[in-house]
Amino acid sequence: MKMNFTIVTDTGANLPENIIEENDILVLSLSFFVDDKEYYSYEPGKKTDLSEFYKMMREKKPIRTSLVNAALAKEQIGALLAEGKDVLYVGFSSGLSGTFQSVSIAMEELKEEYPDRKILAVDTLAAALGQGLLVYFAIQQRKAGVQIEDVYQWIMENRLHICHWFTVDDLFFLKRGGRISAATAVVGTALSIKPVLHVDDEGHLINMSKTRGRKKSLEALLKKFEETAINPGETPVFISHGDCLEDAQYVEQKLKEKYGVKEVLIQILDPVIGAHAGPGTVALFFVGTQR
């Protein structure tokens, strides 16, 4: 079936390569810096091995991140418009990154250059595979022949039903990002405190509660799923992890055994988000009654 518009997203969505390639998604790449050398989170056709990245993270190497370059975004989206394609950009939460604003500026300029094209941008107020889940639903609707304006409206109406629940294993990275104090990190590490965080309705990452020990923190994610998930046996559930696949698979097993979840996608965290959350992060994304 001919696609009636092109879906654009960014590497904040953390989508696996097969979904990107099979559905002809344009992914705008955020970047990260190690020792002042710039790397792109995603390059089309280039397989990315993140084991070295997470090795550097565990060694506590300083890593900086950067948002999508507006000029490059304009060039890439402009190429689609020049081919006569309409564009829907499903973007990284404005509450966590300046990427959405950067891309939006580029798109406003393109609207003047291509007045006959439909050019829409939606701030998902979501991140990682939460954002990815909204891209997934946009893909399904496009396959069903839904028009670009209606897909845009659906995302706007449903984005706050995409629940994000995270836990981290190493408090150092929250400390480095300024989310907790150095004293809290030291005490928390000594007591094996594992925070449980979520992305709120304004798209910000919020510390919600604390648990003692890794297993309890994973169980806390499952408890949140139990409390708010809608139709768990009928909708997909996505899991991101910071190079801790076994923990992600543990959560997957429990979702299937206890709640009848049938479709689960597991994906290692993109470097730009992984740089802030750190190795050992596990994040659960699903459709719920509320965030």
Q: How confident is the model at residue 1 (pLDDT cuts 50, 70, 90)?
A: very low
3-state secondary structure 87-131: EEEEECCCCCCCHHHHHHHHHHHHHHHCCCCCEEEEECCCCHHHH
Residues of the chain with CATH 3.40.50.10170: 6-159
The answer to whether the CB of 103 falls within 8 A of the CB of 68 is yes
Residues of the chain with CATH 3.30.1180.10: 161-287
Residue appearing with tokens 């209606």? 150
Q: In this predicted structure, what is the pLDDT of residue 43?
A: 87
Q: Tell me what the mean pLDDT of segment 20-47 comes to.
A: 91
What Cα–Cα distance (Å) separates residue 173 from each residue in 71, 190, 224, 243, 273? Answer: 31, 15, 24, 15, 11
Give the CATH number of domain 6-159; options: 3.30.450.20, 3.20.20.220, 3.40.50.10170, 3.40.50.720.
3.40.50.10170
**What span, in angstroms and rounded, lies between the C-alpha atoms of 184 and 228?**
30
Give the percent of the chain with pLDDT over 90: 79
Using N-to-C axis directions, what is the helix angle for 128-143 and 148-158, rounded to 10°? 140
Q: In this predicted structure, what is the pLDDT of residue 187?
A: 64
Task: Enter the CATH code of domain 161-287.
Answer: 3.30.1180.10
Q: DSSP letters along 174-185, please?
A: HHHTTSS-HHHH
Q: In this predicted structure, what is the pLDDT of residue 242?
A: 96
pLDDT at 247 over 50: yes
The answer to whether the CB of 95 falls within 8 A of the CB of 204 is yes
Q: Could you read off the pLDDT of 62-98 as tens digits, one per residue?
A: 899 999 999 999 999 999 999 999 999 999 999 999 9
**With a threshold of 0.75, does the pTM exceed it?**
yes
